[in-house]
Amino acid sequence: MNPTAELTKPETTTGSSQLDQLKGFTRVVADTGDFATLKEYQPLDATTNPSLILKAAQMPAYKHLLDKAIADQKQAGTATGEKLIKAIVDDLLILFGVEILKIVPGRVSTETDANLSFDADALVAKGRLFISLYEKQGIKRERILVKIATTWEGIRAAEVLQKEGINCNLTLLFSLVQAVACAEAGAKLISPFVGRILDWYKKSTGKDYSPEEDPGVVSVKEIYAYYKKFGHSTEVMGASFRNVGEITELAGCDLLTISPNLLAELKKNTDPIERKLSPEIAKQSKIEKIPITEKNFRWLLNENAMATEKLSEGIRQFAADTVKLEQFIATKL
């Protein structure tokens, strides 16, 4: 399957769900670690993160995966204490990914440790480790996206990994400068966080926003337009949605990763939706090229209070949930 294959708008038929309509011109991805959800909504890809894996690992349905990760590492006998727990976490991430890939036909995104977000060498090592663990399970690297936070160091790590044929998903992305730097580094895919941008603006302004005015939606449209205008092949995957309106307003984006509750809403609704984004329209955008150097990247990111705050907050949140996952595993040893 070619994930970047041209998607064309289907005829809208009476009774066709919004989810089915959306699949006609956007690659739909499930933002979950729950296998039952994947089977129900039949996305092409799936994404996970530490928060989702923590939630899934505590569910009785997935106890067997945790038990296997613990047993395999104990049998290997190569680590003890904290190192053993971290090795179990890595194994657990891969085991979830392997099971997900039995359900989805495309790719799964597996997230690197948030506490490595400012260490390019460590991120490269973790990406290589993930691929080696997947390959031991018989999974080809083409089906894996290594998720890395969109810091300067994360982008540099992605640049190295991409040259080795290890595809990366740059996550916690909140600004155009982050997106441009990812594209110039050759990242396979980016995940701009729509809902978290909306959260920040609602809190700072006290306003409510229509889907058309939603700052997160506007941000993704700008990134999409920049990529198509300047010929970047990096895929744009809108993420972190708060409502269906944000999703339908981005119909036509390369990919959209959607939580189970919003997938359910889309499946129940049969109102027609129209394609809002297309390469042809994007190429006509009046948007200026951004020069990317480390100094310029850091300055423009710093000038964007929302992006700076949400990036830091996201890294802290994922790091905290990883610690919770480690503590949960420790109780099982």
Cβ atoms of 88 and 332 within 8 Å: the answer is: no
d(CA 313, CA 317): 6
Catalytic-labelled residue, pool 23, 147, 188, 276: 147
CA diameter of the chain = 59
CA distance to 18, 92, 117, 126, per residue, from 322 (Å): 35, 12, 13, 15
As beta bridge partners, residue 57 has none
**φ, ψ of residue 280 in degrees (nearest 5):** -65, -45
Nearest to 3 by CA among 273, 237, 318: 237
Q: Please tell me what DSSP assigns to residue 253.
A: S
Triad 298, 299, 300: Cα angle to 5°:
95
Tokens describing residue 258 = 């959607």
Rg of the chain taking only CA atoms, in angstroms: 19
Active site (annotated) includes residue 229: no
As beta bridge partners, residue 168 has 146
**φ, ψ of residue 212 in degrees (nearest 5):** -70, -30
Tokens describing residue 294 = 């480390």
CA distance to 53, 75, 183, per residue, from 180 (Å): 29, 45, 5
DSSP 46-80: EE--HHHHHHHHTSGGGHHHHHHHHHHHHHH----
Q: How many CA atoms lie within 13 Å of 43's alpha carbon, on the beta-carbon side? A: 30
Q: Which residues are catalytic?
A: 147
